[in-house]
Structure 1
Amino acid sequence: MTIVRLGQGDTVLAPEAVGAKAANLDRLIRMGVPVPPAFVLPIAHCVAVLAGAPGAEAAMRDDLAAGIAWLEEATGRRFGDRRRPLLVSVRSGAARSMPGMLETVLDVGATTTATRGLVRATGNPRFAFDCRRRLLESYGETVLGLGRAPFAARRDELMRAEGVASERDLDGDAMERLVRAYEDVLGRADVTVPDDPAAQLAAAALAVFRSWTSPRAVAYRGLEGLDALRGVAVTVQAMVFGNRSLRSGAGVAFSRDPSTGAAAPVIEMLIAAQGEDVVSGRRTPHGEAAFAAALPEAAARLGTLLGQLERAFGDVQDIEFTVEDGALWILQTRAAKRTPMAALRFAVDLAEAGVIDTAEALRRLADIDEAALIRTRLAEPGEPAARGIAAAGGVAVGRAAFDADSAVALAATGDPVILLRPDTSPSDVAGFAAAAGIVTAVGGRTAHAALVARQMAKPCVVGCAALVVSPGSGRATLGGAVLREGDWLAVDGDEGAVHLGTPRTVVERPPELDRIAAWRAGAGSEIRGQRLPMAP
């Protein structure tokens, strides 16, 4: 086994060998798109490690050391260095996209020495200690299995003491104290984050491999018909820092609206943040206008790239990006998860634009049940109890459930269920599957909840600030009304609205279905255009 250095060879990388993420990044580099240097442990490593093959873990460590040596040469930084430290992300990548189901560890290499090195290199102690606290939290949750709660409790305690509403408002001194608090959490649990960067890296890679067999990943593959996949690759990439300054940020962008199918980009980002802040759904991000106002050059460059990548890959793209001190970097591109309605409109629009031919458009729609394309809407919607962000279209009426287990149990009675959560995590996938609709109090259209809802064709509203869920209490408040488990409500994923009770619904047939019927009958020869290579 060996590593694969992205963008360095003449061979086209196969997703089945290195994962779709790495295969697409390799292609981006060859196109001249700004991508941080990266290497990959292929899926064969995962297969060997999970099978307990003799020497598999030792071979993995040797390959990681070789890859880090190459990244050091490519970046001019050194792993764990006291002056110019290299930090890396450790990301998962299966042959087919499994958004949020597998693990990622960021800021690997942020040892105590390297953290001081970041202070020396940047003159920004707050940034340096923010990277260190992010590593401790990510490593503690992902590698050591401590969960989010103990870190969140200490963070909230410090914020109350400082009189601030968010960790974004903590200064450098407070952020250093937060690091000490996180180290205390680890100590009380009798675990530690090693201060050897190579040990951090190996443990993070193993955690990614082992996440392949986690209950949520297994459940997701079963739901999506991906049981034939063999394992996951690990992409190790030089960190670029969206949390470095107010001219930095991170976000997710779609080349077209994945909920409605509208031919307009959807961009969500946060200033002075890393990518996990956006996709986790724990914060509600800013939209395209705020991005353009704060970082106009990066926003313009991203807008151009969205169109270029859609044409190059022949499909609507979901892009993860970071801006570091004004410079735009692309960390991932993949075919966007979409609602059935968006899939229909994408196929028709791309065929009419000549990006794909009609045969390809029909192929993309072959597995979609046309009944799912019949649009349901509220007959007389009236004033909703609360509003949020429309994340996945359609209307669902059902009974309230406040966690995944309750959603599964309530759905087993035969009634439709609406899952309401403060935010969501990939561990909620069983609740997603059981629910007819989803509502979250925070998050944006690019959060895990929205991505999975679109893929599963579930109406979804996120960023519903008027929703307050009290975990474990069996109750919530929605715009001043008290909801108890089992109460009826309606989710309008087109309007971003939540209604109490059981309002009447009507259905409509989208006109694009007539176009598809004509193509199937052999018409549509006026649609011309050469089919382009498809994204894995």
Structure 2
Amino acid sequence: MSEIEVHPVLIGRSLSGKTASDETGVSARDIGSKAAQLRLMSRLGLRVPPAFVLPTALCGPVNRSDEDALRQVRDALTMGIRFLEQETGRVFGDPRQPLLVSVRSGAERSMPGMMDTVLNVGLNEAAVYGLMRLYGDPRLAWDSLRRLQQGYGEVVAGIGAGVFEERLAVLVAEEGVAADADLDSESLERLALDYRRAMQGIGKPLPVDPAEQLERAALAVYRSWEAPKAREYRRLNHFEDLTGTAVTVQAMVFGNAGGASGAGVAFSRDPATGAPGVYADFLFDAQGEDVVSGRRLPGDLSLLERRLPHVARELVAGIAQLEAAQKDMQDVEFTVEEGVLYFLQTRAAKRTPRAALKVAVDLVEAKTLTPAEGRALLAGVDLDKIVLTRFAGEEAPAATGIPASPGTVAGRAAFDSETATRLAGQHEPVILIRHDIATDDVAGIAAASGTLTAAGNRTAHAAVVARQLGRACVVGCRALGFAKKDGRTSVTIGDHTVSSGDWLSIDGSSGAVYLGRREVVTVRPEAELAIVAGWGA
């Protein structure tokens, strides 16, 4: 391959608040939208952990196993780690003051949850004790190690999630607690040692050398560009012109550092309706994947306001600053470490067509955008197909969940993406029903008219994808039960059993779930459509 400039682009503000060096002359096409937005947040004065970026130009050569590209990755990682060590005062691989990093993907355009991330890279069983000394928290140290083991195992080593989830479930049952969030430091230490034995037994242990962890994680993130779910997402969203992902390596801040720490996702407006006001999901004592995976039920902004009011005020102010700077609705990921707020990502929020209309109208009415810019914000939105829907008549729902993407739809039950795609191919409306939905289910979400899950939350990746595709979605419906007999899955809603192909109706605006097929009534948002028509061509 021809030589590519891979001097790592340096981003952010150090943990002490000192401005980090910054590169000029690079674009989102070079370093991915995630890194470009980190640079913006840093320039705006928001608190951003320092980071460096390996360019999108290396993605294709890495996926072809080009030797020059692999060497350049190694060299760039070495240079970038030196920068992070200078900024943080910590040392990568040091057992006393360890520097840990996250390794994240980021293409020119956002592809939420479609590529891989590995957190806590640089930790091993020696550095665990250094992390304990830094934070005075054994639970944080062992929790971070077991998360790295699982993240590395799944993303880099290709170990199935079940290897880790089964051991976690056994320990949770033995300890008599509700979930992993309730495990103490001694239990998490045992879990980490159990994970180590399991990985060694499979012949795919976590490397002890942090530099080897980092290199393998970076290559795995580049290679996740070619994962089936990422390719399907690009096809659905007509992103065929994208050439690859960048790799962002960022100093870790720890949302799992106790009761004044946590992780969250926030939108500057309601992504389902476009209504103004911060719309957030937040989990205390958690890392980011806990929120976007939908495995734990988070609280909203009011939870943060009650327990850490100064953080809530800073978050709301920062999100307003980002929306004003970007002139568009924002989707923000953040971490709170021991009462200090860090901004990790911002991007133009995925939204329903109905929300897109309201956001554009609101921003033009507020003179944030010109009418021409408002029309540009609506590019790709079919205004003729924007409708508000409701079910005809009154009926008590069989169950309720969390409304995640609006729309009232009736369809035939499907319990996996393959069935959903097959039924949709027969011109049948489909409700995809799952306990929880991973981003691997993107094809099923796209094929179905609506999605219903027992677990999850409003800002989980699956809900974000459903909104972007304009599909109704209800998550966190605790009345759903799942059983498998003779190889067949069935679902219960209360005392009623739903079989594959049965009719079901869901309301993604209220979270209501109904048995059978209900009639849908549609209404157009004429007032807002008239405003847009008045902007002219």
1:107 aligns with 2:120: yes
1:59 match: 72
| Farther off after superposition, 362-371 or 101-110 | 362-371
Matches within 5 A, 1:344-359: 344-359=357-372
Correspondence 1:149-168 to 2 at 5 A: 149-168=162-181
Correspondence 1:367 to 2:380 = yes
Tell me the distance in 1 between the aligned counterparts of 2:494 and 2:534.
46
2:147 equivalent among 134, 141, 145: 134
Match of 1:5 among 2, 7, 10: 10
CA distance in 2: counterparts of 1:317 and 1:438, whole angstroms: 24
Whole-angstrom CA distance in 1 between matches of 2:23 and 2:412: 55
> In the alignment, is the contact (CA less than 8 A) between 1:341 and 1:373 conserved in 2?
yes
What is the Cα deviation at residue 12 of structure 1? 5.2
Q: 5 Å matches for 1:203-218?
A: 203-218=216-231
- 2:490 aligns with 475
Partner deviation per Cα, 1:389-412 (whole Å, 9 max, x = no partner): 111111111001111112112222
Aligned match of 2:88 in 61, 69, 75? 75
- Any unmatched runs of 5+ in structure 1? 522-536
- Deviation of residue 370 (structure 1)? 2.3
Aligned pairs for 1:178-217 (under 5 A) are: 178-217=191-230
**Percentage of matched positions with identical amino acids:** 51
Is this contact kept in 1: 2:49–2:344, CA < 8 A? yes
Q: Is the 8 A contact 2:48 2:342 kept in 1?
A: yes
| Structure 1 position 342 matched with structure 2 position 344 | no
Contact preservation (8 Å) 2:9, 2:23: no
How far the C-alpha of 1:329 sits from its partner, in A, is 0.2
Q: C-alpha displacement at 1:82, in angstroms?
A: 1.3
User: Quick one: which amino acid aligns to residue 490 of structure 1?
Assistant: S
Mapped partners of 2:488, 2:331: distance in 1: 37
Could you tell me which residue of structure 2 aligns to residue 516 of structure 1?
532
Which residue of the other structure, out of 255, 259, 273, is the alignment partner of 2:286?
273
Q: Secondary structure at the match of 2:303?
A: helix
* TM superposition shift of 1:10: 5.5
For the 8 Å contact 2:10–2:23, the answer to whether it is kept is no
Q: Equivalent of 2:428, from 405, 410, 415? A: 415
1:146 is the counterpart of 2:159: yes
Whether 2:273 is the aligned partner of 1:260: answer: yes
2:502 paired residue among 487, 495, 498: 487
| 1:54 to 1:10, Cα distance in 2 relative to 1, 3 A | closer
1:66-104 deviation digits (Å, cap 9, x = unpaired): 101110110000112111111100000000000000000
Q: Equivalents in 2 of 1:211, 1:115: separation in Å?
A: 28
Matches within 5 A, 1:357-506: 357-470=370-483, 473-506=488-521
Shift of 1:306: 1.2
Please give the alpha-carbon distance, in whole angstroms, between the structure 1 residues aligned to 2:23 and 2:119. 29
State the 1:123 CA deviation. 2.1
CA distance in 1, matches of 2:495, 2:112: 34
One-letter amino acid matched to 1:53:
D
* 8 Å contact kept, 2:506–2:512: yes
**Pick from 33, 38, 61: which aligns with 2:46?**
33
Aligned mate of 2:522, from 504, 507, 513? 507
User: Could you tell me how far apart the structure 2 residues matched to 1:367 and 1:123 are?
Assistant: 52
Residues 26 and 379 of structure 1: CA distance in aligned 2, closer, same or farther (over 3 Å): same
Q: CA deviation at 1:366?
A: 3.2
Q: Residue 45 of structure 2 aligns to which amino acid in structure 1?
A: G
- Paired amino acid for 1:494: S
Q: Which amino acid aligns with 1:452?
A: V
Could you list the per-position Cα deviations for residues 211-238 of structure 1 after superposition, in whole angstroms to 9, with x for gaps in the alignment? Answer: 0111111111011000110000000000
Q: Is 2:323–2:330's contact at 8 Å kept on the other side of the alignment?
A: yes
1:497 Cα deviation after fit? 1.1
**TM-score when normalising by structure 2:** 0.95
Q: Which ranges in structure 2 are unaligned for 5 or more consecutive residues? A: 1-5, 13-20
1:175 shift after superposition? 0.6
Q: Encode CA deviations 1:148-188: one digit per residue, 9 max, x unaligned.
A: 11100000001111111111111111110010111122122
Q: Distance in 2 between matches of 1:134 and 1:381?
A: 47
8 A Cα contact 1:380 1:503, kept in partner: no
CA contact (8 A) 2:155 2:220 kept: yes
- Secondary structure of the 1:265 match is strand
**2: CA distance between counterparts of 1:9 and 1:261?**
34
Match of 1:72, SS state, is helix
Q: Provide the alpha-carbon RMSD of the alignment.
A: 1.2
**What are the residue-to-residue correspondences of 1:224-239 with 2, within 5 Å?**
224-239=237-252
TM-score w.r.t. structure 1 length? 0.95
Determine the C-alpha separation between the residues in 2 that align with 1:25 and 1:138: 23
Which aligned runs of 4 or more in structure 1 are off by greater than 6 angstroms?
none
Q: What amino acid sits opposite 1:6 in the alignment? A: I
Q: CA deviation at 1:383?
A: 1.1
Paired residues of 1:80 and 1:113 also in contact (CA < 8 A): no
Partner of 1:507: helix, strand, or coil? strand
Letter paired with 1:85: P
Equivalent-residue separation in structure 2 for 1:94 and 1:359 (angstroms):
27
Instruction: Tell me the distance in 1 between the aligned counterparts of 2:304 and 2:494.
Output: 29
Post-superposition offset of 1:381: 4.2
Q: Which amino acid aligns with 1:68?
A: I
Q: Helix, strand or coil for the counterpart of 2:312?
A: helix
User: Is the 2:492–2:498 contact (alpha carbons within 8 Å) kept by the matching residues of 1?
Assistant: yes
Show the counterpart of 1:527.
none
1:288 to 301, 304, 311: 301
- In 1, the alpha carbon distance for the partners of 2:297 and 2:385 equals 29
Residue in 2 that maps onto 1:525: none
Amino acid at match of 2:8: I
Cα distance in 2 for residues equivalent to 1:315 and 1:333: 11
Post-superposition offset of 1:15: 0.6
User: What residue is the counterpart of 1:85 in the other structure?
Assistant: 98
Q: How many residues align?
A: 521
Deviations 1:358-403 (A, max 9, x none): 1111122232122431112111242111111111111111001111
Question: Would you say the 8 A contact 2:9–2:52 is kept in 1?
Answer: yes
SS in 2 for 1:415: coil
Q: Residue 491 of structure 1: CA displacement?
A: 1.3
Give the AA of the match of 2:67.
P
Contact 1:3 1:67 survives alignment (8 Å): yes
SS at match of 1:90: strand
Specify the code of the residue in structure 2 equivalent to 1:368.
Answer: V
